[in-house]
Structure 1
Amino acid sequence: MAIEIKAPAFPESVADGEIAVWHKQEGEAVTRDELLVEIETDKVVMEVTAPEDGVIGKIHAREGETIQGQQLLATLEPATAGAAAGGASGAEAPADTAANTDTGGAEATMGPAARQLVEEHKLDAATIKGTGKGGRVTKEDVLTHLREAPKATPAPAADKAANKPVSGKPATADRLPQVPAEATGERIEKRVPMTRMRARIAERLLEATRETAMLTTFNEVNMAPVMALREKYKEKFEKTHNGTRLGFMGFFVKACCEALKRFPEVNASVDGSDVVYHGYQDIGVAVSTPGGLVVPVLRDADFMTLADVEAAVRDLGLRARDNKLTIDDMTGGTFTVTNGGVFGSLLSTPILNPPQTGILGMHKIQERPMAVNGQVVIQPMMYLALSYDHRLIDGKTAVQFLVAVKDLIEDPARILLQL
């Protein structure tokens, strides 16, 4: 009897999803827990795997179709049924299976981020060793393959000549010209549909700017004390906490937790005409992924140690990169921290993540001349930006909150002593 393969149940915050890519087609053999299809929602990419060994029957939801939770996606013929049906052509079945393994196996077990890199660099997916679950090729595997591959593999002159356009037109119709646009006068454009996640991000950003009275206040913090602390204890910290590295995010998350206790308005959220004050600190940490910016949440961050925060942030970042985050990972959050400094941003105005009323922006550490006790001293400084909803938070409260974070970072012992 055929087994129905259905979409997972979507939480209330997710209305529907879209079939992103089928990794198996009708008639293909699959094994238990093998990836079949990826479903893209406005928050995460969900993976549906095979419940047992068998052969894909009819696919009911094609790529690009919008689906609901628990909707029928395809049917699966169990392995026993498939073997019985194929008894008459047993000599041909092994050859077909081998062909599928050799030509499509690597690409079929590859995430969207990894596939994009493979296509961009024109790599042979079969030569990349997968370290993910079930041999799945991850983005990190592709990057490792690129690092270990020869730096340059120049094409023969004959191949270059073959690809050269004639009369200003591409050599082939299915790929872009191999010469600069200036040489042919052509202006290349490419139109692709916006992904559901990117569309949802755009919608949320417009919602934040349209429905909140957003204002940003700035300050700067001397990072020398934290940097000295990291330099002194980073090796011992890493050995003590099983390889967890001591970074800056842990200090800022803990400083924000302490400041949020002092200024509960910044930890509140707006629900219609009501204000919801949260007696806990669930800190969202903005993470950049190939599909867009996501904000997984550290639950009860106030009760986490620095090592817990650093380990959790790293884990969330890796899972975000490999599209392994769940809806629960990104649901809730009372305050958000985003670090544009990792990309070199010196100053920015972060946008609120509704219904939250505050978001802290960290930036690049830049050495600047500062006046210290009447002397000009070069110090590693970082600009901090706090965007807040002025409907609930007054300017005085916002400034005092940011100063509290600044004081805690400039004297890290206060975080431990809760001073």
Structure 2
Amino acid sequence: MTVEIRVPVLGESVTEATVGQWFKKVGDAVVKDEPIVELETDKVTLEVNATESGRLEEIVVAEGEDVEVGALLGQLLAGGAGNTSAPAEAPPEEPAAVAAPATPAPAATPPAAAPSSAAPALPAAQKLIDENGLNPASITGTGKDGRITKGDVLEAMENGGSSPAAAPTAPAASAPAPASVSAAPSGPRSEEAREERVKMTRLRKSIANRLKDAQNTAAMLTTYNEVDMGAMLDLRAEYKELFLKKHGVKLGFMSFFTKACIAGLKELPAVNAEIDGDDLIYKNYYNMGIAVGTPTGLVVPVLRDADQLSFAEVEKGIGELGKKARDGKLSMADLQGGTFTITNGGVYGSLMSSPILNPPQAGVLGMHKIQERPMAVNGEIEIRPMMYLALTYDHRIIDGKEAVTFLVRVKEALEDPQRLLLDL
């Protein structure tokens, strides 16, 4: 029986995707629920799994091509016997058995050693490994049966824990190789070496379009302030161990900033509003978008009803969303429905910047690096841990007085964290 592989429903307002990678070739065996093809939308990357076991009979849409929801991607022959990885490795073993028929034991040894020399990786993880020249043996797999997941590869890349796969094989190269390497710098570089043309991913195109639309549509203006982080740092230092012991999560800055923003949004509802045609929609719920940088681009997963969450629940929720973003496991629902966004350029060392709105939201708060600076305190100069804050807002909805007041309220709450606990 032939089973069609079609583009699934991708989510609200998402009508098309790009075929990122086929994990199987025509004729390959497929197991039910195994990923067959990866699709890139303008928000997330998702895998299409096999609905039946069998053999991949046909690939209709090639990698890099755009498809609409419901489009036919390929066909699967259910129950059909396909090519597997085991037969592919059999030929190298057979000559060894012929050359040494009296010693069958050594011939059986290489297959047993092969898995240990190269840890098994899921298709999406293997793609990242190949693209970045990583050594899978240096990556610890956390998936089922120790398989390497996409998240394992991304974590290894962030920690610098992976070594280039080519490094161990370089000494084994033939003698002419070093000569060609040494000769390369002496001649002029080719045009191919000077430039590299790479097709934009759908996510990158989406980011570019949304940011440009925000500039073209909203009347964006940014107001700045600075906050003394001393009280918050002292509070965290005093309670971080007890907080971690009780809740199983670290007490970070994001829970304080989230709670401070919610307090400001409740007082100044225009900052939590949006424009819909000729109407203003004031939202009495607080879904906080938390910008997260990933190897494929910036995404903004949403922490829903954050006003109803405790500090620990906020920290856990943000941690889970961040991990899903880095692992490429965010769903469409994780990215929809935000009413206000917080972005932290400080993690990259930014001292000050002007964030761009995330439409249709009317406000975005930019956090930055904590920098010790000399400040005048009660007529004396003190060295204080200071952070610049930036609020970019849609001036069509929010007046300057409302924007400045909101940022002052955030500043007051952060400089006196007890206000958040007392709802002041």
Shift of 1:125: 4.2
Q: TM (normalized to structure 2)? A: 0.85
Q: 1:143 to 1:224 in 2, by over 3 A?
A: same
Paired residues of 1:23 and 1:108 also in contact (CA < 8 A): no
Q: What is the aligned counterpart of 2:212 among 195, 198, 206?
A: 206
**Offset of residue 245 of structure 1:** 1.0
Aligned equivalents of 1:212, 1:107: Cα separation in 2: 48
Contact 1:132–1:138 under 8 Å retained in 2: no
Superposed CA offset, 1:246-287 (max 9, x none): 110110011101110000000001112211100111110001
1-structure distance, mates of 2:293, 2:85: 44
1:147 has 2:161 as partner:
yes
The yes-or-no answer on 1:296 pairing with 2:288 is: no
> Are 1:227 and 2:233 matched, yes or no?
yes
Is structure 2 residue 409 aligned with structure 1 residue 396?
A: no
Q: Is the 8 A contact 1:110 1:136 kept in 2?
A: no
Q: Distance in 2 between matches of 1:95 and 1:50?
A: 22
Q: RMSD over aligned Cα, in angstroms? A: 2.9
Match of 2:177 among 156, 162, 166: 162
Q: What secondary structure sits across from 2:32 in the alignment?
A: coil
Post-superposition offset of 1:4: 2.0
| Conservation of the 8 A alpha-carbon contact between 2:128 and 2:150 | no
2:142 is the alignment partner of 1:131? yes
Is the 2:151–2:327 contact (alpha carbons within 8 Å) kept by the matching residues of 1? yes
* Counterpart Cα distance in 2 of 1:7 and 1:106: 31
Does the CA-based 8 Å contact 2:138-2:161 persist in structure 1?
no
* Residue deviations 1:330-388 (CA, integer Å, cap 9, x gap): 01211000000000000000001111110000000000111111111111000000000
Asked if the contact 2:54–2:81 (Cα under 8 Å) also holds between the matched residues in 1, the reply is yes
Aligned ranges for residues 165-314 of structure 1 at < 5 Å?
165=180, 178=181, 183-186=186-189, 188-242=194-248, 244-314=249-319
**CA separation in 2, counterparts of 1:254 and 1:357?**
18
Does residue 330 of structure 1 match 2:335?
yes
Question: Which consecutive unaligned segments of at least 5 residues does structure 1 have?
Answer: 87-91, 166-177
* Amino acid across the alignment from 2:28: E
Instruction: Report what 1:73 is aligned to.
Output: 73
Alpha-carbon distance change, 63 to 276 in structure 1, aligned in 2, over 3 angstroms:
same
Q: Residues 181 and 306 (structure 1 numbering): CA distance in 2 closer, same or farther, change over 3 Å?
A: farther
Q: 2:221 is aligned with what amino acid?
A: L
CA shift digits 1:276-325 (9 cap, x unpaired): 10011111000111111111111101001111111111111111111100
The reply on whether 1:47 has 2:40 as its aligned counterpart is no
Q: Offset at 1:123?
A: 3.1
Output the amino acid matched with 2:127.
R
Gaps of 5+ in 2: 92-110
2: CA distance between counterparts of 1:65 and 1:346? 41
Aligned letter for 1:110?
P
- Say which SS state the counterpart of residue 316 (structure 2) adopts: helix
Tell me: CA distance 1:180–1:376, structure 2 relative to 1, closer, same or farther (3 Å).
farther
| Cα distance, 1:34 vs structure 2 | 1.5
Deviation at 1:163, TM superposition (A): 4.7
Where in structure 1 do 4 or more consecutive aligned residues deviate above 6 Å?
Answer: 105-108
Render the CA deviation track for 1:42-63: whole Å, top value 9, x for unaligned: 1111111122322111122221
1:158–1:39 CA distance, 2 compared to 1 (3 A): closer
Alpha-carbon offset, residue 72 of structure 1 = 2.2
- Native 8 Å contact 2:358 2:364 kept in 1: yes
Of 104, 111, 124, which aligns to 2:124? 111
Q: Is the 8 A contact 1:29 1:97 kept in 2?
A: no
Alpha-carbon distance in structure 1 between the residues aligned to 2:380 and 2:401: 31
After superposition, the Cα gap between the structure-2 partners of 1:139 and 1:11, relative to the gap in structure 1 and judged at 3 Å, is: closer
Residue identity (%):
49
Q: 1:270 to 1:182 in 2, by over 3 A?
A: farther
What is the one-letter code of the residue matched to 2:61? A
**CA distance 1:94–1:372, shift in 2 (3 Å):** closer
1:345 is matched by which residue type in structure 2?
A: S
Distance 2:122 2:377 in 1: 57
Distance in 1, Cα, partners of 2:43 & 2:65: 17
Equivalent AA in structure 1 for residue 337 of structure 2: G
1:77 shift after superposition = 2.0
Deviations 1:89-135 (A, max 9, x none): xxx99624868x979x97872326x6335432x23447755323573
* TM-score normalised over the length of structure 1: 0.86
Tell me the distance in 1 between the aligned counterparts of 2:174 and 2:419. Answer: 65
1:5 CA displacement:
2.1
